[in-house]
Amino acid sequence: MIEKHYSYTNSNEKVIEKIIDDQNLHLNHAILPKGDRLPEHYSNSNVYLIITRGEMTAQLGDQESNKYSFPSMLNVPYNTKMNIINEGEETLEFFIVKTPNPANYGK
């Protein structure tokens, strides 16, 4: 086989998992039940958040929070303060694409 196969969790419980971390790409998968959140942090690369289920409340930098729901995707620039929360009624699921891989950012 020349292809690589990757799998990820199918759940309604909280999950934050690394799927791919190679020289080309850093890809994470997250599931946040109602009321849950990611820890506040700064983006360490160009980040794309791809929502595959539910509604995301995102407070980025000093902006007011905004709501984004499936199907949608948002781009967060490098070094932006991020607060991601599930304030919706259903489970939030999304993929986090970082490009370039943070290990290679600035090289």
Q: Are 35 and 98 in contact (CB under 8 A)?
A: no
State which amino acid sits at residue 26. Answer: H
In the chain, % helix, strand, coil (3-state, to 5) comes to 5, 50, 50
Extents of the domains making up the chain: 15-95
Starting at the edge strand found earlier in the chain, the sheet holding 41-42 runs 41-42, 81-85, 55-60, 66-69
Looking at 3.30.70.3280, 2.60.40.420, 2.60.120.10, 3.40.50.720, the CATH number of the domain 15-95 comes to 2.60.120.10
What is each CA distance from 41 to 4, 23, 77, in whole angstroms? 31, 23, 13
The per-residue pLDDT for range 22-56, each reduced to its tens digit, is 988 999 999 999 999 999 999 999 999 999 999 99
Residue percentage of the chain with pLDDT more than 70? 98
Mean pLDDT of the chain: 95
**pLDDT tens per residue, range 53-105:** 999 999 999 999 999 999 999 999 999 999 999 999 999 999 999 988 888 77
Q: What is the pLDDT of residue 107?
A: 61
Looking at the predicted structure, is the pLDDT value of residue 15 above 70?
A: yes
pTM (2 decimals)?
Answer: 0.93
